[in-house]
Amino acid sequence: MSAEAAAPTGPHFSLAELFRPLVQPIIAVAISVLVGGLLVLTLGENPFEIYWLLISGSLVGWPNFLVTLQMMSPLLFTGLAVAISFRAGLWNIGAEGQMIMGALFAGIAGYAVDLPTFLHIPFCLAAAFLGGLLWALIPAVLRVWLNVNEIVVCLMMNPIALLFSGYVSTHLLKAPGPTNKLPDIAETAMLPTFSLYSQVNAGFIIGLALCLLFAAINGWTKK
């Protein structure tokens, strides 16, 4: 028997393991850039100029970058909703409609309810969650009770959500005046903003925090 004891080995760290989850997204982005460039070429334009306009208009300069963060904020929450359902093995192709209905519910709660700020903002967030939940419940119920394909139902409900929210905003609950929109939400329902250049607000920070929370939970519960 060897007198040498086996040295304890600690956790093995590998750069390959660290970057492995990024391989597929990078390949997908590269393919989309290539296909997009070929389509631009068929139109007789320079794809490098087009992509530079895309990058400079969204990332170069503080105002442009803040507007990008503003547009990115609702996509963070929508992407998380899809990620959670995919993690559970369910196809959620109706995230667009759920986001629209959540925005509609939040907009109504923002102007129709009179609450102090510390209550109004959570109330609007809860209303947004409820709107998306109720819209997602329709394909879920049809799937469980009638065995209707949820992918088809979700795809059909996306344009319905868009048209329904447009009708409510421009007819049923239209603000007074020539503009076709809901009444302005109260100041007490607005998340604090970070800059005068855009409307990016604390929702972006909340979205990032939820992304980290989901990543942690997903890592802990991953088989």
The pLDDT of residue 217 is 86
Q: How far apart are CA 119 and CA 126, in angstroms?
A: 11
Terminal-residue alpha carbon distance, the chain: 38
Q: Residue-wise over 83-107: b if at least 16 C-beta within 10 A, else e?
A: bebeeeeeebbbbbbbbbbbbbbbb
For the chain, domain boundaries: 28-60, 62-221
The pLDDT of residue 18 is 66
Q: How far apart are CA 139 and CA 149, in angstroms?
A: 8
Query: Which parts of the chain have pLDDT scores under 70?
Result: 1-16, 18, 197, 222-223
- pLDDT tens, residue by residue, 91-125: 888 999 999 999 999 999 999 999 999 999 999 99
Q: How far apart are CA 34 and CA 176, in angstroms?
A: 48
Rg of the chain over Cα atoms, rounded to whole angstroms, equals 23
Q: pTM to 2 decimals?
A: 0.78
